[in-house]
Amino acid sequence: MRTRKLTGFTFVIAVVLWTQAFTCSKHQVVATEHDFLIAVTAAQNVEIAEFQAGNVPPDLHKQIQGGFLKTGQIGEQVAKLLAANASNQTVLAQLTQVVASLQVLLDEGNLGIKNAATLAAYKASVQAAIDIVKNLATALGGTA
């Protein structure tokens, strides 16, 4: 009788912990996706402000905003996949594209932004977005 009680108790604890862990990990992934959006929005705003201040050449500005357009499209896709409870592998495939797209943005800034302060602010904001996406991939059990 005592063994049966103990088994039941252990089972209840295991079920509760498992469900809690699942709830937690899904929530963490969604929260990280939200951080990614915030970081990309911030990076885009930094670039627009620096362009308006005359610190980014017009051609480069268009190139970079083209990159933000692409990143925004993939970001929307990632959010839609998470909302639809897509498999981790499917989301990870999108995240790999996101990192590639953000890396292009970083490289373009490195090559074309001559103002040191502008470049530093831009690099920091894009790098923050890259780091968040990599964390998101880790939370999904992969790499990007």
Partner 1 sequence: MNPAQIIQILQILLVAEPEVVSAIHNLLTGASGKADTDLLNQDIIDWQTVQTKARAQLGL
- For position 66 contacting partner 1 by CB under 8 A, the verdict is yes
- For position 37 contacting partner 1 by CB under 8 A, the verdict is yes
Residue 108 beta carbon to partner 1: minimum distance, rounded to whole angstroms: 14
113 φ/ψ angles, rounded to the nearest 5 degrees: -90, 115
- For position 50 contacting partner 1 by CB under 8 A, the verdict is no
The angle subtended at Cα 129 by Cα 122 and Cα 51, nearest 5°, is 25
The angle subtended at Cα 73 by Cα 59 and Cα 133, nearest 5°, is 95
What are the tokens at 16? 């509760």
User: Which residues does 112 contact at the CB level (< 8 Å), separation at least 6?
Assistant: 56, 57, 60, 63
- For position 57 contacting partner 1 by CB under 8 A, the verdict is no
In the complex, the residues that contact partner 1 under the rule CB under 8 A are 4-5, 8-9, 12-13, 16, 19-20, 23, 26-27, 30-31, 33-34, 37, 40-41, 44, 48, 51, 61-62, 65-66, 68-69, 71-73, 75-76, 79-80, 82-83
